Amino acid sequence: MKLGIDSIKLPESKKRGPLASLDHVKELGLAGIFFSTVLDMSPTLDPGALRDIRAKADELGLYLESGIGKVNPYCSAEEPALRAAGGGDIIAGFTRMIEASAAIGCFELWVAPGNFKSEYRGRLANDRFRTDVTWEEQLAGIEKVLRKLAPVTRAHGAHMNIETHDEITSFEILRLIEKVGADCVGVVFDTANGLQRAEHPVFAAKRLAPYIRQTHMKDAYVGRAPGGLDFQTRPCGDGIVDFATILPILAEANPQLNLSLEVAQSVEDKPRKANPRQCIEIDDPLWRAGHPDLTADELAAYRDMVDAYARRVSSGEVANWEVYEASQYGYPTYENQSYGFNEAIGFIKTSARHIETICKEKSIVLSCPAAKQKAA
């Protein structure tokens, strides 16, 4: 396994560009980079530019991963670059991205099923609870897009890997894989996103393990609050996710899996908007009815996990929502844009140390520059 980072969350990735970002990743002691889409490497899909990025990654001994974007046709209008890549034909755009990625050896490709709008509180923050189109209709649309792209994906020996994104459940991802085919559809396992669907991360890891081909290593604070549960991104090890149990599950299923950190993004890369506290409306009847696959046993285990984490918070082992929000690593408010480059680097290093420590304790071979340096 190798430990790297998602390019969007790498500080100054857009400012530096892909080639210099590879150097930055190497400097940080990480082993690779996960560009959310191949358009992040080259907006025009220029073959020469893409080959140069591949060559630079190989020269530095770094893994290179990519994706093709959001495949929910009901949110395509919010991603105009995908349609532009095909000269107005979005399926042609996706096809070109698959072909361009495969040409440089990127066969595991990220896709996402919707959008998250942090400026809205509760269930309306994500597409699952849109009121103009049902989630079932959106899932049907996603399936149709995946089916249209399946032939070109199979032809190149690639996989469209569905992220366990904020709005979808692991059960729904498994049904999409069954319908379209595991030979061309897999999973990007985000270790924290499923918490927003009240899925226990360990349960989800076990369900999805045979199909996980890419990852987002992420942690979160989840605690009781008015209206349900607070959700707040934290460095790996400071949140509720049990990496000590999850990492061995992933390593057993796929020893060559790349672990890509997804951390809090610097405000210098993306200035914060005023937004309410994220809320998991777990006690709301409408929210609960929207998760028919969630079993009583898993929900009970989820609540036990939240209670156990609350004890860590009460003991002072980890900061509560308010204290963390006001700290140097906390998400800044609209008025306080203090979470900059240095803070983001600190977040990355803290997360990397936790993953490295767990891997060492569990005898998981983690091939990355940082690990080699420490071994030396």
Domain with 361 in it:
2-375
CB 180 within 8 A of CB 155: no
What's the pLDDT at 328? 64
Is 149 within 8 Å of 160 (Cβ atoms)? Answer: yes
Number of neighbours of residue 110 by Cβ within 10 angstroms: 27
Identify residue 81 by its one-letter amino acid code. A
Identify each DSSP E strand in the chain by its residue range: 2-6, 32-34, 63-70, 108-112, 159-163, 185-190, 212-216, 219-225, 228-234, 258-261, 279-280
Q: What is the pLDDT of residue 376?
A: 34
Contact 7, 33 (CB under 8 A): yes
Cα–Cα distance for residue pair 92/80, rounded to 1 Å = 13
Question: How many Cβ atoms sit within 10 Å of the Cβ of residue 285?
Answer: 8
Return the number of other C-beta atoms located less than 10 Å from residue 8's C-beta. 17
Residue 140 is part of a domain; what is its CATH number?
Answer: 3.20.20.150
The number of folded domains in the chain is: 1
Average pLDDT per block of 10 residues along the chain, 376 residues long: 96 97 98 97 98 98 97 90 91 97 98 88 90 96 98 98 97 98 98 97 98 98 95 95 98 98 89 77 94 96 98 96 78 61 93 97 81 39
What is the arrangement of strands in the sheet containing 63-70, beginning at the earlier edge strand?
A: 212-216, 185-190, 159-163, 108-112, 63-70, 32-34, 2-6, 258-261
Residue 89's pLDDT is what? Answer: 93
Backbone CA torsion sign across 79, 82, 86, 92 = negative
Q: At what angle do helices 47-60 and 13-27 cross, to 10 degrees?
A: 30
Find the largest Cα–Cα distance for the chain. 58
